[in-house]
Structure 1
Amino acid sequence: MSETREREKGVPSNVGSMIQTERAAAFHALHGDLLVLPNCWDAASAAVIEHAGAKALATSSAAVAWSLGTRDGNMLDRGLMLEHLQRICAVATVPVSCDVESGFGDSAADLAETTRLVIEAGAVGVNLEDALSGALRPVEEAADRVRVVREAADAAGVNLYLNARTDSYLLGAADFEGTVARAVAYLGAGASGIFVPGVTDLEEVARLTAAIDAPVNILTGPGAPAVPALKEAGARRVSAGSSLAGAIFGHIERATRELLEHGTYDELAGPRSWGEMNGLFA
């Protein structure tokens, strides 16, 4: 029975499977050097990104939300997110990580259920944020939530890569020492790596990577140092976040304006053809 047919019948085709075990191990191993993730948001973007050479895929919660007509920031319906994730995992032949924002629920039971469902969909990694409604959770509470995810993943039999995200720099809510303290707490609770968005200064990246005894994920985009410089500073994971989706949607707007206002097609030049896109899907 194909994975697609199993999904159609509601059977969690990847849970505990050899394929998912192998992809989880491969995803962990990719953080030993430098993993670059141009984040996806649906099956088509995932297929294009993998075809372009990405060794793994990771969703952007913002991009997924926008594609579904929803604002980013814990506004996305979990069921809709999971439908997208299932479709992404169905077309992917590389490891997939899912941005679960703050976990789709405040209770431990909700968070454990989110973890179980994400793994059931085929993911082998998650990003879990420590902020909610623009404020950092107390470090003990945030660490407890990391522990819940780890225990739920262990119960599912998958060595989930748990990328614990701290928004301390992004919110201006903690200094270097506070960020490192959060990282230590999250790693002690079972995190695999630490995601610190809001930092691209190479000296600060180097300080963080030297102080945190785990792979550090940096959010990059226009204006940030090039990937080789971030690697030299010690980063072991570089994510594009929502910037790739933003660039694509911006191009759609430019092409539309040209077509409507000028009746020309320059912005449509050089796209993937119908045949090329169709060929990405079995």
Structure 2
Amino acid sequence: MAATITRVIRVPLSIDFEAGYSDDPKKVAENIKPILDAGVVGINIEDGQDAPSVLAAKIEAVRAAAEKAGIDLWINARSDVYLQQLVDEPKRAEESIKRAELYGKAGASSIFLPALTDARDIRTVVKGSPIPTALMAWPGLADSAELQKLGVVRLSSGSGIPQIIWNHAARLAKAFVEKGESGPMGGDYMAHSELQSLFAERT
């Protein structure tokens, strides 16, 4: 899939590498090789419920594999401190900084903190982290202009856009299959020519 995408796009591709698809750093290093061969130049790799040292070891392995392949891979180290509430709320900024320090030493390019929305915590993390801070679009989060003022360097939409799209699609399909409703098909409608233009090759 990654190779199919890189074949037609004109911008760098970064993908979600999840947790590396293994608990073994050596296996994670093997798993990244076909991704690099496909032309990917950036990844997210996450800690989740794992100890921070586990992700640090994976990052080291991935960085070494990328350097061996001659690729300056952007490693966006996702930490779920806020998303999964891994520590008590007053300690989350401090814990995020500690993980940023650890992941940065291991070779991460940035720290990615989904569900972090509080401006004070954002400012604290940005100031204390040795690597750039990335955030995910989230209810209550400031817009990109304000985040830039706070020092955030990257904002991801995550899965929000497709989740909203598929929720809307499911409602339309349900109404059509169960009741044969055609009326909603004309609401918020994109013409075929506009739709095709989204996928037209750019030169």
Q: TM-score, normalised by structure 2?
A: 0.87
1:274 Cα deviation after fit:
5.4
Are the counterparts in 2 of residues 147 and 189 from structure 1 also a CA contact under 8 Å?
Answer: yes
Q: 2:169 aligns with which of 228, 245, 252?
A: 252
Q: 1:271 aligns with which of 181, 190, 198?
A: 190
- For these two proteins, the number of residue pairs brought into alignment is 195
Structure-2 change in CA distance of 1:244 and 1:279 (3 Å)? closer
Aligned counterparts of 1:199 and 1:267: Cα–Cα separation in 2: 38
Q: 2:14 aligns with which of 69, 90, 97?
A: 97
Matched with 1:280 is: 199
Are the counterparts in 1 of residues 117 and 140 from structure 2 also a CA contact under 8 Å?
Answer: no
1:258 Cα deviation after fit:
4.6
In structure 1, list runs of 5 or more residues that go unmatched.
1-83
Q: 2:40 aligns with which of 108, 114, 123?
A: 123
1:171 Cα deviation after fit:
1.7
Q: Deviations for 1:70-94, whole angstroms, at most 9, x for unmatched residues?
A: xxxxxxxxxxxxxx22222222110
Matched with 1:164 is: 77
Are the counterparts in 1 of residues 94 and 125 from structure 2 also a CA contact under 8 Å?
Answer: no
Aligned counterparts of 1:201 and 1:115: Cα–Cα separation in 2: 34
1:121 Cα deviation after fit:
1.2
Matched with 1:233 is: 150
1:219 and 2:136 correspond:
yes
Structure-2 change in CA distance of 1:272 and 1:194 (3 Å)? farther
1:66-215 alignment runs, 5 A limit: 84-131=1-48, 135=49, 137-174=50-87, 175=91, 176-215=93-132
Cα-Cα RMSD? 2.0
Are the counterparts in 2 of residues 203 and 233 from structure 1 also a CA contact under 8 Å?
Answer: no
Q: Deviations for 1:127-168, whole angstroms, at most 9, x for unmatched residues?
A: 01012xxx2x22222211110110010011100001111111
Q: TM-score, normalised by structure 1?
A: 0.64
Aligned counterparts of 1:236 and 1:269: Cα–Cα separation in 2: 33
In structure 2, list runs of 5 or more residues that go unmatched.
none
Structure-2 change in CA distance of 1:140 and 1:209 (3 Å)? same
Aligned counterparts of 2:108 and 2:29: Cα–Cα separation in 1: 15
Structure-2 change in CA distance of 1:257 and 1:115 (3 Å)? same
Structure-2 change in CA distance of 1:257 and 1:129 (3 Å)? same
1:223 Cα deviation after fit:
3.6
Q: Deviations for 1:173-220, whole angstroms, at most 9, x for unmatched residues?
A: 132222211110110111111101121111111111111122211111
Are the counterparts in 1 of residues 46 and 79 from structure 2 also a CA contact under 8 Å?
Answer: yes
Are the counterparts in 2 of residues 124 and 160 from structure 1 also a CA contact under 8 Å?
Answer: yes
Determine which structure has more spread, i.e. the larger CA radius of gyration: 2
Structure-2 change in CA distance of 1:168 and 1:265 (3 Å)? closer
| 204-213 or 268-277, larger mean C-alpha shift | 268-277
